[in-house]
A and B are shown apart, each in its own frame.
Chain A
Amino acid sequence: DAGVIQSPRHEVTEMGQEVTLRCKPISGHNSLFWYRQTMMRGLELLIYFNNNVPIDDSGMPEDRFSAKMPNASFSTLKIQPSEPRDSAVYFCASSSRTRAKNIQYFGAGTRLSVL
């Protein structure tokens, strides 16, 4: 299995620009999670999907953040417009309740820098 795949690995952008982060979960997993990690706030859950449906988006910081999961093998996290305080590492993780009892497998992350 290829694991959770995230792209890009690094993104540098200027304040006000739109940023799109991508995630491909492990095949057969039905839950997908987006996390943000910073030194100050640690690891925060932003949103998660179950069977492509958003279940809990209470961690999404504000309306500038949106996430979609159009099918079982792809999800995006979009920030529009981006701000310097959005600089962080964004992780995607996937899990399967039936196959592996909710063990979450993480992607390598996208390191976002907003200048």
Chain B
Amino acid sequence: AQSVSQHNHHVILSEAASLELGCNYSYGGTVNLFWYVQYPGQHLQLLLKYFSGDPLVKGIKGFEAEFIKSKFSFNLRKPSVQWSDTAEYFCAVSPNRDDKIIFGKGTRLHILP
């Protein structure tokens, strides 16, 4: 069965620290990849997406992610985090011909001011 694994459940960083959140998926075919963010008390919003082309994708608020096909990974990065990045981050995968998106269990990011 398809699955998405996020390596860290809870991450605590200080402002200006660099961030990398790990994500691996299990699916052998062509996939669409997503990172969603959920700020406290809000709904999920799309942070960035990968469909094809350049494996390094840039999203909103300075976030980027790199698709490494050989490792089935789609890690999220940001060089310098801000207090306002405190949120829960979800990695998600959709097989190319599927309407469904498989979400990971999320990583709670807490940024200390």
A→B interface (CB under 8 Å): 31, 33, 42-43, 45, 48, 50, 55-56, 91, 93, 95, 97, 101-109
* B79-104 interface bits toward A, Cβ cutoff 8 Å, 1 = contact, 0 = none: 00000000000100010001111010
User: Which of A43, A95, A108, A109 interacts with B90 by CB under 8 Å?
Assistant: A43
State whether A45 and B46 are in contact (beta carbons under 8 Å apart), knowing that A101-B32, A101-B51 are contacts in the complex.
no
B34 within 8 A of A: yes
Interface of A is mostly: strand
A91 pairs with B101, CB closer than 8 A: no
Interface size class on chain B is 10 to 19
Chain A residues whose C-beta falls within 8 Å of the C-beta of B43 in the assembled complex: 91, 106-109
Check if B68 is an interface residue, CB within 8 A of chain A.
no
**CA–CA, A42 and B105, complex, Å:** 6
Q: Is the CB of B100 within 8 A of A45?
A: yes
Task: A56 to B102: give the CA distance in the assembly, Å.
Answer: 13
| Minimal Cβ-Cβ distance residue in B for A96 | B99
